[in-house]
Structure 1
């Protein structure tokens, strides 16, 4: 059974190899959520590509990291939209900028994507303005177009603040359920896997689409607010509506305040015991994201030994990794597989 096909099954039949998820595509090398980023992730060997979903004013699901658009598009440079700039509280944060829910899809189509972290990824700014905003439908179509019998490609769709959206007149979970039905992507082994930090939204989506609906992952932040999710009781509760957890890597590879690796938690084993897959986020190659002993030089934007971190995470038995650098994770997976073959010889 192929790893992608088996991602939907419970942990008693875990995938034979860990899957690699291209986080927002291959966003270490191209501006996130662009066709170029997703295509490159697939070219690098990613098994899944990961769009974040927000909702346009006319109810279309579009791929953006967050509903505030000024960091990832050129909206601030567009005089025709100057009057859309506003301040609102989204979740626990008060943000000023331009928000997707104030734009129709047609208006969003006029915007161009830019690199969201130019200080860390200056080379990506060479692609600023080249690509537009994609819908969930377009990302699914890309995955299906690039899939083969030998190598299917799937979509790991993250719902961004769906309960907040519902409170503001945009019922994201209902929109997602309807879109997945329209795209014929509601089966457990279908093109789309769904994840969110919002447990309530995942429960509503499960109730809507049924126990035979799409595979779902409960995202788990490193913040204390999510501590209850990773207790034994919490993991059992997650297993009633989701097939896995997608925890912050900091819940598995433990660090101190200075970024030094201090140990490894037992979360992977406990989640597997609860019948859950484990797909941690987010591995990235820049020093800014790596444990202290894997950094190379003092520059936060310089590339460190990301392959070592990926090997460690995979060796701990996770069922997949979400990464900005799919090529690094694919190479680490191949190295571990070669070691296993040599050991068995």
Structure 2
């Protein structure tokens, strides 16, 4: 006969840490504002997202030549501003590595803040979002301070606390040019009263080292971003949990796209939650071009598909938040599961 052994009760897994904006239910984060409806990273894109009900707004940060933090998806400015039509700034055109690939254009790190303030914003994907182009030229390029003040003011009008997710774009490249972003970022958070663990803010990056440095300098939640092809296995998540409170992952890492039929979720969310990491999936866009086959509707790449269905698949996989260009279309999917 085998000897009976009394086992201790199992230790529960730690609750996943959530990024700002939600209160129990999954968080809906407006990616660069309501960028499906307004040119991205404009103050009106942020206001529109909050009026639609978004829990939080995602901002991307890059520096100017004089060290100011501005809000742009990337430091090359020709796709999102009118700089290409500015002969007085033509001499600043350069070729620089962007995401490791040489790119010709005008870069924020070559312009002073005063020069950036002369630019106007425009739609980045006019072929897919022609309706957004009617807003071209109406606004400038916001600084981090202006964006934080606008989001706070709009949250006050809405009578609720709106979260902010701040992504640091290529911080190592900027630091190598003497434009380290951590100091200006932490100073801005302090100015706006967002420099403690309970503030509705988180800092995100694809780069591990900047997050490790920030972990020694701030109590603000940190989030490691992971793209398709990055290591999202259990050991990698264990390491991330040593310096960050969450992961922001490409949606295909949560629900890989199937060649036929419907895709099945991966174990990423389960493994992250076991390590106390919250999981936000990015980026949900409503246009067919960005959706898996089963969620497309009609043949046109710019036609709107079933983004609510795509959101539902990610919610069923257990994600803690969805980052989207179309908060108005994703919010109903979240509320339906509440």
Aligned residues: 320
Aligned with 2:83 (options 75, 79, 102): 75
Partner of 2:67: 59
Moved more, 290-299 or 309-318: 309-318
Partner of 1:34: 42
Partner of 2:11: none
Preserved CA contact (<8 Å) 2:254 2:317: no
Cα distance between partner residues in 2 of 1:20 and 1:189: 19
Give per-residue Cα distances to partners, 1:137-183, cap 9 Å, x unaligned.
11111222122496210211110000111011101122222322233
Cα distance between partner residues in 2 of 1:293 and 1:13: 31
Aligned with 1:204 (options 200, 203, 213): 213
Preserved CA contact (<8 Å) 2:17 2:276: no
Q: Which runs of 5+ in 1 are unaligned?
A: 1-9, 338-345
Change (3 A) 1:57 1:274: same
Partner of 1:329: 330
Aligned counterparts, 1:293-332, within 5 A: 293-332=294-333
Partner of 1:11: 15
Cα distance between partner residues in 1 of 2:201 and 2:32: 14
Partner of 1:214: 220
Partner of 1:3: none
Q: Which runs of 5+ in 2 are unaligned?
A: 1-13
- Compare relative contact order (CA 8 Å, sep 6+) and give the higher one, 1 or 2: 2
Change (3 A) 1:111 1:320: same
In the TM superposition, residue 336 of structure 1 has moved relative to its aligned partner by 1.7
Partner of 2:134: 126
- For 2:256, what is the secondary structure of its paired residue? strand
Change (3 A) 1:91 1:284: closer
Aligned with 1:179 (options 183, 188, 192): 188
Aligned with 2:149 (options 141, 153, 166): 141
Change (3 A) 1:255 1:66: same
Larger radius of gyration: 2
CA root-mean-square deviation = 1.6
Cα distance between partner residues in 1 of 2:94 and 2:334: 45
Partner of 2:7: none
TM-score (norm 1): 0.89
Change (3 A) 1:86 1:43: same
Preserved CA contact (<8 Å) 1:253 1:264: yes
In the TM superposition, residue 12 of structure 1 has moved relative to its aligned partner by 5.1
Preserved CA contact (<8 Å) 1:144 1:191: no
Partner of 2:175: 166
Aligned counterparts, 1:188-203, within 5 A: 188-203=197-212
In the TM superposition, residue 260 of structure 1 has moved relative to its aligned partner by 6.5
Residue 97, structure 1, aligned to residue 105, structure 2: yes
Cα distance between partner residues in 2 of 1:208 and 1:12: 22
TM-score (norm 2): 0.91
Higher share in helix: 1
